[in-house]
């Protein structure tokens, strides 16, 4: 029997860049086996050493969660669709988040009545909804690609108080997809740029900035002051930090994530719905799947996904419409496809399940959390400083340099004489390496290369291996004496 398997964007590099694949199988187990037989490199990303589905991967059948292996032997029917979903990052509400008392206190003046006239004509918003928006307090975490759309649309919609949290400054590379900022904002704090944008849209909106880094010591105090939290961040550490803080403070979380051409939106921790850990109990190992900052994103995509986040936020505030409280919307703008996957609260969730193991918000070391730090019984991954590598190259030492980055990353910054081998191909291509010669591994920031070294060790490679500390980011402005061009 033939069934269709949809491959999430983060996995397509392991599956011939294909978004959907037809395979033969009478059940999920056979279909997944057929897929991994055709694409062996995909198996390592999906399953651990004991052939168990990894915690950061979910499998759906016709929109329902079938991640538990006990469900994999149910018979499939012709035309069934399987969706493989790794982490990257509805139902009608019974009432509005904003109380009647707060809503009544938010009077609309003549200017606001004219400004929001198109909202006032909508049955789903009207005067009550617009007053609720004015009385509401929304915190936007992350003022990059997703935050750019969310900030502007919520400001235009009339949200009375908007919190702006981001510790970074605007860089020229941000301008491609972060339309909140302009060239004059380069080197300015993103919070300052966002506040100026809000002031330009509507000076009556109260914009509160949080330019400091988020951590366990401050996040709960910050989000406690808001009605809705909008996650526009771009890394797993913050996603889990934000999720846990929202669970402990009882705040609804509007989640959004993007990767290349694919985006996701959901409403989490709302009216008994799932939290982020219900879907993905643990993140993938650092570097296994690059973030959008490492792998790029088509510039209009954040606008698409950020706009959906803004809409979900407005639904929560006004108490109208069908929210994504038990659904995950996946939008692939490059292949013109959308899927709604059902999300369920898991009894086994480590924070909101029946037997929780997480009891407070904690900062964690990402590498340790993902099992990448050295254990007492493991050989530590040895690093090499850029200055030492340059010296050895200039002295023409015999070295093998392996670049594990994606092709589009290498097109931006190349490393001279490096051999390109993606992590998924290292085990089967280890014969291309000479164990008698030192091998240096490079990636963007020095994290994926650690994973590459550990992968080869597991495969039995015995040669000396070194991780370039800081990765290509540390070397992009260096000119080698035998190279006539910038890296």
pLDDT at 283: 67
pLDDT greater than 70 at residue 376: no
pLDDT above 60: residue 27? yes
pLDDT-based confidence at residue 86 (cuts at 50, 70, 90): confident
- Residue % of the chain over a pLDDT of 90: 33
* Rounded distance between C-alpha atoms, residue 297 and residue 257, angstroms: 11
Given a cut of 50, whether residue 431 has pLDDT beyond it is yes
Is the model's pLDDT at 91 over the cut of 70? no
Q: What is the mean pLDDT of residues 15-34?
A: 82
pLDDT band at 95 (very low <50, low <70, confident <90, very high): low
> What is residue 94's predicted lDDT score, i.e. its pLDDT?
43
Per CATH, the number for 136-369 is 3.40.50.720
Q: What is the set of active-site residues? A: 292, 443
pLDDT score at 121: 86
What span, in angstroms and rounded, lies between the C-alpha atoms of 109 and 114? Answer: 9
pLDDT digits (tens, 9 = 90+) for 126-185: 999 999 999 999 999 999 999 999 999 999 999 999 999 999 999 888 888 889 999 999
Q: Which residue has the higher pLDDT, 227 or 5?
A: 227
Q: Residue 23 forms beta bridges with which residues? A: 3
* Whether CATH 3.40.50.720 fits 2-86: no
Could you tell me the pLDDT band of residue 404, with boundaries at 50, 70 and 90? confident
Domain boundaries, the chain: 2-86, 136-369, 383-475
Cα–Cα distance between 468 and 389 in angstroms, integer? 8
pLDDT attached to residue 408: 67
Helix axes 145-157 and 190-201, enclosed angle (nearest 10): 30
**Pairwise CA distance, residues 444 & 452, whole Å:** 13
Residue 377, pLDDT above cutoff 50: no
Q: 461-480, pLDDT tens digit by residue? A: 989 999 998 888 776 655 44
Residue 482's pLDDT is 40
Residue 174 has a pLDDT of 84
Per the prediction, the chain carries an average pLDDT of 83
* Of 391 and 378, the one with more pLDDT: 391
pLDDT at 254: 97
pLDDT for res 157: 94
Tens of pLDDT along 275-300?
A: 998 888 776 655 455 544 445 678 89
State in words which class domain 383-475 has: alpha beta
- Secondary structure (DSSP) of 93-158: -SS-SS-HHHHHH----HHHHHHTHHHHT-TTTHHHHHHHHHH-EEEEE--SHHHHHHHHHHHHHT
pLDDT value at 56 more than 80: no
**What is the model's pLDDT at position 294?**
47
Query: What is the rounded end-to-end Cα distance, in angstroms, of the chain?
Result: 51
Say how far apart CA 484 and CA 479 lie, in whole Å.
Answer: 7
The reply to whether 383-475 shares the fold of 136-369 is: no
* Distance separating alpha carbons of residues 393 and 44, to the nearest angstrom: 33
pLDDT in tens, 125-143: 899 999 999 999 999 999 9
Question: What is d(CA 455, CA 470) in angstroms, rounded to the nearest whole number?
Answer: 19
Tokens 């981001």 -> residue? 166
């Amino acid at each position: 029997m033939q069934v269709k398997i949809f491959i999430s964007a983060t996995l397509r590099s392991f599956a011939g860049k294909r978004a959907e694949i037809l395979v033969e199988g009478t059940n999920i187990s056979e279909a997944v086996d057929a897929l991994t037989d055709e694409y062996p490199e995909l198996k390592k990303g999906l399953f651990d050493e004991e052939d168990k589905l990894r915690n950061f991967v979910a499998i759906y059948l016709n929109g329902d969660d079938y991640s538990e292996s006990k469900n994999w032997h149910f018979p499939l029917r012709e035309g069934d669709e399987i969706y493989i979903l790794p982490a990257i990052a509805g139902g009608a509400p019974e009432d509005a988040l904003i109380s009647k008392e707060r809503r009544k206190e938010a009077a609309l003046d003549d200017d606001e009545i004219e400004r929001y006239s198109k909202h006032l004509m909508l049955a789903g918003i009207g005067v009550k909804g617009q007053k609720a928006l004015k009385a509401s307090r929304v915190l936007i975490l992350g003022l990059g690609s997703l935050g750019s759309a969310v900030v502007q649309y919520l400001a235009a919609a009339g949200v009375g108080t908007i919190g702006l949290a981001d510790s970074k400054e605007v860089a020229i590379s941000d301008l491609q997809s972060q339309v909140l900022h302009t060239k004059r904002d380069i080197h300015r704090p993103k919070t300052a740029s966002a506040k100026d944008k809000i002031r330009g849209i509507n000076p009556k909106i109260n914009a509160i900035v949080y330019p400091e880094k988020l951590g366990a010591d401050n996040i709960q105090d910050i989000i406690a002051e808001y009605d809705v939290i909008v996650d526009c961040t771009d890394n797993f550490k913050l996603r889990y930090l934000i999720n846990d803080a929202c669970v402990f403070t009882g705040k609804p979380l509007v989640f959004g994530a993007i990767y290349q051409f694919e985006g996701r939106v959901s409403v989490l921790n709302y009216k008994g719905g799932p939290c982020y850990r219900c879907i993905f109990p643990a993140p993938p190992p650092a570097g296994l799947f690059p973030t959008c900052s490492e792998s790029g994103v088509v510039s209009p995509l954040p606008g698409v996904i950020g706009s959906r986040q803004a809409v979900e936020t407005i639904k929560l505030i006004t108490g109208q419409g069908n929210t994504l409280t038990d659904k995950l919307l996946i939008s692939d703008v490059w292949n013109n496809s959308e899927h709604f996957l059902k999300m369920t609260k898991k009894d086994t969730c480590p924070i909101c399940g029946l037997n929780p193991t997480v009891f407070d918000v904690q900062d964690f070391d990402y590498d340790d959390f993902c099992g990448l730090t050295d254990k007492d019984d493991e050989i530590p991954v040895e690093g090499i400083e850029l200055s030492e590598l340059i010296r050895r190259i200039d002295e023409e030492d015999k070295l093998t340099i392996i670049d594990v980055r994606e092709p589009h990353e290498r097109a931006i910054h190349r490393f001279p004489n490096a051999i390109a081998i993606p992590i998924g191909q290292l085990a089967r291509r280890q014969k291309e390496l000479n164990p008698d010669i030192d091998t240096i591994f490079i990636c963007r920031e020095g994290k994926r290369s650690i994973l590459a070294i550990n992968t080869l060790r597991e495969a039995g490679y015995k040669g000396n291996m070194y991780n370039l500390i800081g990765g290509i980011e540390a070397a992009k402005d260096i000119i080698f004496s035998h190279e006539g061009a910038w890296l």
